Amino acid sequence: MQGVGFRPFVYNLARRLKLKGTVANSAFGVDIFVEGEVAVLEQFQQLLEREQPTMSLIDQIQVDQTEQQHCSDFTIIHTQGGDLTVGATPDAAVCSDCLYELFDVANRRYYYPFINCTNCGPRYSIIRALPYDRLTTTMSGFTLCQDCRDEYTSPVNRRFHAQPNACAECGPQLSFADAKGERQAVEPLSTAVALIQQGKIVAVKGIGGFHLLCDAHNPAAVARLRQRKQRPTKPFAVMGLNSQSLRAIVQLNDAREQRLQAQDAPVLLCPVNAELPGIAPKLAWCGVMLPHTPIHYLLLHGLCGSPKGSDWLNQAQTPLLVMTSANRSGNPLVTDNQQALQTLQGIADGFVLHDRDIQIRCDDSVVNGLSDEMPLIRRGRGLAPQVIRLPQSGPSTLAVGAFFKNTLCITQGDKAYVSQYIGDLDNPDCCQALTELTKHLTQLLAITPQQVVCDLHPDFYSSRFAREYAQQHAIPLYSVQHHHAHIASVMAEHRLCEPVLGLVLDGLGLGADNQLWGGELMRVEGHQYHRLGHLPEQALPGGDRAASEPWRSAAAVLYQLQRGAEIPHRFHQPAALTVKQMLKQNFNCPLTSSAGRLFDAVASLLGICHNNSFEAEAAMQLEASAYRYLQHHDWPELPAMIDFSDTGQPVLLRLLEVLADVEDPAWGAALFHRQLIDGLSRWVVCHSRRTNLSVVVLAGGCFLNQLLRQGVTKQLQQAGLTVYNAALLPCNDAGISLGQAQIAQRLAGENNNEKQVVKGLFQCV
C-alpha cells in the first residue's frame, strides 16, 4: 500500500469521523491506532475498505485491542522499522486531476511534463529501497521548493507524501539531443513534434524506459523504423489520445475501453477495424494504448495543433503514434540517457531526454483483448512487481525462470513476488539484466533466499546462474521440469492444492527422459507429476533451426505422410533438398511432442507462413487466418479427424493429410483449430474419467491463442469439468518462475533428504 496515498486517506477519514490516534507506514504495511466509540470504529473499518485510494490494495486487516492512549488528535507519524513484508507499488498512468492541471494555463504546473500526485506517476521504476520514501528513490537529488514542500507535508493535499512531487522550479527537466547525440538548446517537445511531422523517428524517455516514436499514418516512417530496428514484420503498438481516436483503427467495446483506461495503461490487442500499413502485417488485430505519462500527452497536444483548454482531450483526434521499445531487436529496453545516445544512434533522428533516473526498467504490459477474460501476454509497467499469495508458506525461494521471456520470482512466507518481463536469455544484455535484477529485488524486498530453483535444462543461462548462486550462498538448488512448472504456476495463482489434470501446449522444454516435450497431459499433485500422454512426436530437421523456419516442420509432416517427394517443389527453399535427405537418413532430426512446432507445420502446409522473423509468427498468422474466417463464417463442420491409439494417445495424421491439400488457407486454419479443440477436449475428458479428476489446468504459450483457449475451456466446462487458466501472469514462459517457486516450496516442506527431493522433482511415468 505504500506510495498510494493511504496514510492521508486514513488521516482524513479519521478526522471526518472525529477519531483520535495515529497512522504510520511499517515494514508490515500500514499501522493504524484509533480511539473512539465502538460504533464509530466499526464505521471507520467499513469505510476504510469501501473508500480506499484507487491505487491501494488491502490484502488483509488485522484488528487488535489495546489500552487507550488518550490521543489529543489524529496524526501521521514517521515510517516504523522492522523486517519488510510489503512490496513495491507499480507505476501508474497520469490521473485525470493532474491531466486537467497540466493544460490549465492558470496552474503553476501548466505544461510541466513531470506532473504527478499520490494517485499517479512513477513508483516501482524509481525505487532504490523500501520503505518507500523520497530519499530511497531517484528523486532524492531534487530538493523540494517551498510550494511543493507545503503540498508534500499537508495531509489534506493530494500530493501529501507523493515522493516524485515536483514542479518546473525544483523538479526534473527535459532536454533534447540530435541524431548524433549532441545536446541542443531547443524546446524539446516542440522539436520532437516537428521531427515526427517530418516523418522522422524520435526516442523519448518515459517511466520504465525509452520508446521509439514515429507517425503511424506515415508508411515510409514506419518502414524506416522497421529497417533501422531490424524488425521486419513483428507488430508495433499504436498510441492514440483517447478511445475515440483509436476507434479509427480497432474495434472497441466497453470492456476494452475500461481496460485501456486502467492505471497500468497497457498495450491492448484489439480486432483491426482499418489496417495501418506496416503496423501489424498479416494479423487480424493490433496493439493499441493510451498515453500514460504527461510527456506523451504533451507530444500529442503539439501534434493536434496545441489546442486551448482541455476539451480536446475528450474529442477524437487524428494523430496516432507508433510506440515501440527503444532497443535493437533482442536487447533489453534502454533506460539510461548516455546509453540511449550510444545504442540508438542510427535509429533515432532525435532524443527527448530527462534527468530523473530510471532505477528499474519496465517494458509496457501487453494484454489480449480478443476475449472477455483479457489474459496477460506480458507483465511490465503498471503491473510489476506482482505479489501472489501462495497456497502454502515455505522457505524463501529464488526461482530464476526459463530461457525465453524470462522472469524472476522471490518468495517470503506465502507471498511470491514475480518480476517484470526481462527478455530472452540468448542475449548477453538480458543475461546481465537477470543478474542485476536478482540483486536489486533481494535487496529491495530484504529477502535472503534459502533455496534456489531453475529449469531442468542444464545449459540455460538461468540454470547456470542458479548453480553459481547456490554455490556462492551455500543453499540448496532444485531443478524443475519445464511443463510441470507451467502447470504449477497456474495452480499457485489460483491456490489449488488438490490433484489436477494439466494440459500443457508449449514450444519446447526438456523432459525427464531427456527428450523435447511440448504437448503434454499430466497429473499433478503437490510437487510431483505423472506424464499421462503427449501429442504425436514429429521430427525437427536441423534441430533449433526448425523453430525459426516452420517449413522444416511442414517438410517433416510431408515425409511422415510418405509425401517427401513434394518437399523441394512445395517450399522453394535453398535447403529443401538437404532437409529431404536429412529426414530420409534421420540425420539431426530430433523428435518433439511440441504443440508450437505443430502450429508451425500447419501454418506452412497451408502456405500462410514459411519463416518466422520473430517468435511464434507462423502460429499468430495461423490464428489470424482462422479469426478472419470466423468473422464471416461458422466453424467448418467435418467428422472428427483426430484419432486415438490403443494407449489413448492422439493421432493427427488423418487431419494433417487433409490440411496438406487444402486450397483455401483461411478455411484450413479454421478447420485445424476446430479439429484440435475437439480432439484435445476428448483427450482430456477421457483421462478425467480414467483418473477420476475433474479439475483441469490449461498452461503453456500456445494458450495465448484465444481461439484455442476459449474453445478448449468451453468444451471442457460443458463436459462438467472445472477449468483454470493463467490470469495474474501470462500463460507463456513468463509464468515459469512462479511455478518453479511453488514446486520448490512444496518440496522443501514435504522432503527432508536429498533422495526424496530428487525423486519428487524428476518422477515421470
Q: Where are the domains of the chain?
A: 6-76, 174-368, 538-672
Superfamily for the 538-672 domain: ATPase, nucleotide binding domain (3.30.420.40)
Tell me the pLDDT tens digit for each residue of 618-645.
999 999 999 999 999 999 999 999 999 9
Alpha helices (H) along 181-293: 188-197, 219-229, 243-246, 254-260
Give the model's pLDDT for residue 84: 47
Which of the four pLDDT bands, split at 50, 70 and 90, describes residue 577?
Answer: very high
Share of the chain above pLDDT 90, in %: 82
Q: Which of 2-16, 75-89, 449-463, 670-684 has the lowest mean pLDDT?
A: 75-89
Which of the four pLDDT bands, split at 50, 70 and 90, describes residue 89?
Answer: confident
Share of the chain above pLDDT 70, in %: 96
Residue 761 has pLDDT above 70, yes or no: no
Tell me the pLDDT tens digit for each residue of 248-257.
999 999 999 9
Tell me the pLDDT tens digit for each residue of 276-314.
999 999 999 999 999 999 999 999 999 999 999 999 999
Q: What is the DSSP string of 539-577?
A: E-TTTTHHHH-HHHHHHHHHHHTT-GGGHHHHH--TTHH
pLDDT, average across residues 324-328? 91
Domain 6-76 has CATH 3.30.70.100: yes
**CB count, 10 Å around CB of 100?**
13
Tell me the pLDDT tens digit for each residue of 203-247.
999 999 999 999 999 999 999 999 999 999 999 999 999 999 999
Residue 355 has pLDDT above 90, yes or no: yes
**CB count, 10 Å around CB of 517?**
28
pLDDT, average across residues 155-184? 95
Residues in the chain: 765
Contact between 146 and 205 (Cβ < 8 Å)? no
Tell me the pLDDT tens digit for each residue of 728-755.
999 999 999 999 999 999 988 775 444 3
Residue 63 has pLDDT above 90, yes or no: no
Tell me the pLDDT tens digit for each residue of 429-463.
999 999 999 999 999 999 999 999 999 999 999 99
Residue 420 has pLDDT above 80, yes or no: yes
Average pLDDT, the chain: 93
Give the list of residues 6+ apart from residue 664 with CB closer than 8 angstroms, or none.
none
What's the topology of domain 174-368?
Answer: DHBP synthase (3.90.870)
What dihedral angle (degrees, nearest 10) is formed by the CA atoms of 630, 633, 636, 637?
130
